[in-house]
Amino acid sequence: MSTLKLDTPLQYLKGVGPKLGTLLAKRDLRSVGDLLHVFPRGYEDRRAMRSIRSLVPNQTVSLKAQVVRVRSIPLGRTRRKIWEIVLKDETGQISCKYFRSPYRGYFERFEPHQTVRVVGKVILYRNNLEFHHPDIHPINVSEEAEKDELIPLYTEIEGLSQNKFQKLIQAALQLTEIEDSLPEEIRKKSELISLKQALQEIHNPPLEHAEKILKWRSPAQIRLIFEELFWVELNLALKKSGHQLEKALPVKAKLSRKGELLSRLPFELTQAQIRAYEEIKTDLAKPHPMHRLVQGDVGSGKTLVALLSALEAADAGFQTALMAPTEILAEQHYRNAVKLMEPLGIQVRLLVGSLKTKERNQILEDLISGEAQICVGTHALIQKDVEFQRLGLTIVDEQHRFGVQQRNLLKSKAVSPHFLVMTATPIPRTLAMTVYGDLDVSVINEMPKGRQPIVTRKAFESKRSLVTGFVKEQLQKGRQAYVVCPLVEESEAMELKNAQDEYLRIQKEFPEYKVGLLHGKMKTADKDEIMRAFRDNQIQILVSTTVIEVGVDVPNANIMVIEQAERFGLSQLHQLRGRVGRGEHKSFCILMLGYALSEEGRQRAEIMEQTTDGFKISEADLEMRGPGEFLGTRQSGLPGFRLANLVRDLDLLQKARKAAFDWVSKDPSLQKIESHGLKEHLDRQLENWVG
């Protein structure tokens, strides 16, 4: 008989004592529902068992073997090491390599002659078949023979065996009353099984669904993936519905100075820029506020489109606020705005934290009087005492650098202003639909004519002297260079190159040049001072962490050296590369690869060599890393999905999106009786995402 509910604390589940309860709580498992929603990260298909001799590359397999040896292999002069477990069966031997330890004590569990099961993908690495980061667990041969052919694999919790964890799951399934979270109407229309059946089958996979399960398309998986995506889309549908219910003052130009501005440009707009501008102009004329995202590659001309939009607002008698994440980036936008707007009689102001009180007070007066039509700034724009006479358009640059609260504070400076956000991180369509589903999206996917592609090459430590020689050649021509490192200071836990040590090394290696150091732990004023010195060529080599990923234009800097490039994601590498190639000089990006190079690290470097198209790179990055890691779930507001994969599950995403938007079109505030359960579940989901 069911005695528990999904929200029952885990301490009431048989087998969970105080010690285990504390261990589970550290993993955010506090209720029975939390436990049941720890889904298998995969399944071991015992029907696909192999011998070592029969292995071929790119197959995910399960095999039983004996441990030959466990050892750590030092990497050169660094303190880093690779762990290796060598296994054998009656047909041969195979090496299992780990470039990082899953957790402390992981390798101490294994000893020679022990029987283990290994589950993983077979990799062809330097002409040898290997496993990289496979699942290995000791087995009792007599017990194992009694298990089903499809075994759920859960993420390991240190201090809790897979066997014990599976028993807790089974006890929870037997004792819990599971109410459905989705209305019957949605389940029927979308052909979904009940939540109770889905949870039962995800943890006890029926053999008749084996092929579908391994492809993530069993009825249970479809139901649970759909639901994960549905809550995200329902939240976005409600947001979008809220935007459309707001009233805004239509921005309709009384005069147009666009032609005069364009005539001053030394180049023509690309078709993609024109298209984005026309979409914005159409939105501005509507009676409800625009909520639009402009995404385009580094250097594709987003800022010019934003300034054209600000001109449209000025011509209609409205003010514009443009917020950037750093003072130096705000200064850059300000200089561009002054150059383009002041010849047209439009007054531009810069509001940043480092202003003296007298200057700041004058700018505040100009904003409230309406004398200043465009104000570019940092977080200083959202201070309480900043007021506008007639703010009609708010623009946020590199919006992922700002929290939701900061964006909302900017919008609160007026009654329902039009809202435009820009990002130089190209986001694949599937992700944009999920993260920015409440925004309309404009894409600038064309580069201005004459922009040279950046030459990208990978290099290993053995070629270090050649790289140093090449950098010296470029510096002798008067150019400048960035050197990017993964860490600020040395860490024993992660023995990566660090910016402080690299700074000292480069000072010795390039004594005739001025070397600067920039990292996120520095004060904002110090960071800005270093960037200004680099921009003005007072510094020739800038050693930095990824703090320069979004930054100021330095047209004279044409070399980007990225140390231990295998440690960075593709999109981050692309953003860093975009710091060069801003001027007339041919530019280069050198990816320095470390000793412990995984196959995935090698693939990323090769993709970077092959293309400079940010959209192609973002698609590849999303496929390789998954959406949560791709964007950073906290920054984006995107929940960490348990089952859903936005590359694999595009069809379910579209289905969930349609179901959510259809429901909200009938009940925009979820006030009807049939929506009450949905509202409760959504509120709970939002708490989980934030918490």
Q: What is the pLDDT of residue 403?
A: 57
632 phi-psi bin (left φ>0, alpha ψ -120 to 50, beta other): left
For residue 323, the cross-strand partners are 377, 396
Looking at the structure, tell me whether residues 173 and 191 fall in a common domain: no
What is the rounded CA–CA span in Å between residue 293 and residue 153? Answer: 40
Residue 502: C-alpha distances to residues 14, 131, 561 (Å): 55, 33, 12
Q: Residue 359: count other Cβ atoms within 10 Å of its Cβ.
A: 14
Q: What is the pLDDT of residue 632?
A: 46
Looking at the structure, tell me whether residues 201 and 316 fall in a common domain: no
Hey, CA dihedral for 354, 358, 361, 363, is it positive or negative? negative
Hey, CA dihedral for 608, 611, 615, 616, is it positive or negative? negative
Number of domains present in the structure of the chain? 5
> Mean pLDDT for each 10-residue chunk of the chain (691 residues)?
81 88 88 92 74 85 91 75 92 91 84 90 87 86 58 80 87 91 93 96 90 88 95 88 74 81 88 95 90 86 93 94 87 91 95 91 95 94 91 83 66 83 76 74 83 89 92 96 81 64 92 91 83 93 81 86 89 87 90 80 90 83 64 49 81 91 91 86 76 47
Domain closes at, from 444, 479, 494: 444
Q: What is the pLDDT of residue 635?
A: 40
Domain closes at, from 444, 471, 489: 444
Q: Is residue 623 part of a domain?
A: no
* Residue indicated by tokens 């180049």: 267
Looking at the structure, tell me whether residues 36 and 49 fall in a common domain: no
Q: Is residue 636 part of a domain?
A: no
Residues listed for the chain: 691
What is the rounded CA–CA span in Å between residue 509 and residue 502? Answer: 10
What is the rounded CA–CA span in Å between residue 119 and residue 634? Answer: 32
Looking at the structure, tell me whether residues 231 and 265 fall in a common domain: no
Angle ∠(163,165,171) on CA atoms, nearest 5: 105
Looking at the structure, tell me whether residues 545 and 501 fall in a common domain: yes
Q: What is the pLDDT of residue 265?
A: 86
Q: Is residue 624 part of a domain?
A: no
Are 53 and 91 in contact by the 8 Å Cβ rule? The answer is yes
What is the rounded CA–CA span in Å between residue 583 and residue 451? Answer: 8
Looking at the structure, tell me whether residues 563 and 691 fall in a common domain: no
What is the rounded CA–CA span in Å between residue 535 and residue 519? Answer: 16
Q: Is residue 1 part of a domain?
A: yes
- pLDDT single digits (tens) 116-162: 989 888 998 878 899 998 988 888 765 555 454 778 888 878 778 77
Q: What is the pLDDT of residue 182?
A: 93
Instruction: Please report, for the domain that includes residue 140, its CATH number.
Output: 2.40.50.140
Looking at the structure, tell me whether residues 418 and 496 fall in a common domain: no
Instruction: Please report, for the domain that includes residue 486, its CATH number.
Output: 3.40.50.300
Q: Is residue 309 part of a domain?
A: yes
Looking at the structure, tell me whether residues 50 and 135 fall in a common domain: yes
Kindly give the pairing relationship between strand 176-177 and strand 4-5.
Answer: parallel
Looking at the structure, tell me whether residues 100 and 52 fall in a common domain: yes
List phi, psi (to 5°) of 292: -130, 140
**Residue-range definition of the domain harbouring residue 270:** 258-444
Assigned token pair, 163: 């066997």
Measured between alpha carbons, how far apart are the two ends of the chain, in Å?
A: 33
Question: For helices 195-203 and 219-245, what crossing angle results, to 10°?
Answer: 130
Domain closes at, from 410, 444, 478: 444
Q: Is residue 523 part of a domain?
A: yes
What is the pTM assigned to this prediction? Answer: 0.68
Q: What is the pLDDT of residue 143?
A: 54
Looking at the structure, tell me whether residues 459 and 604 fall in a common domain: yes
Hey, CA dihedral for 645, 651, 657, 659, is it positive or negative? negative
Q: What is the pLDDT of residue 195?
A: 95
Looking at the structure, tell me whether residues 173 and 185 fall in a common domain: no
Looking at the structure, tell me whether residues 488 and 393 fall in a common domain: no
Instruction: Please report, for the domain that includes residue 2, its CATH number.
Output: 1.10.150
Q: Is residue 625 part of a domain?
A: no
Q: Is residue 450 part of a domain?
A: no
Assigned token pair, 624: 């390789």
Assigned token pair, 104: 């402390």
Residues 6+ apart with CB under 8 A from 242: none
Assigned token pair, 462: 């053995």
- Secondary structure of residue 120 in the 3-state scheme: strand
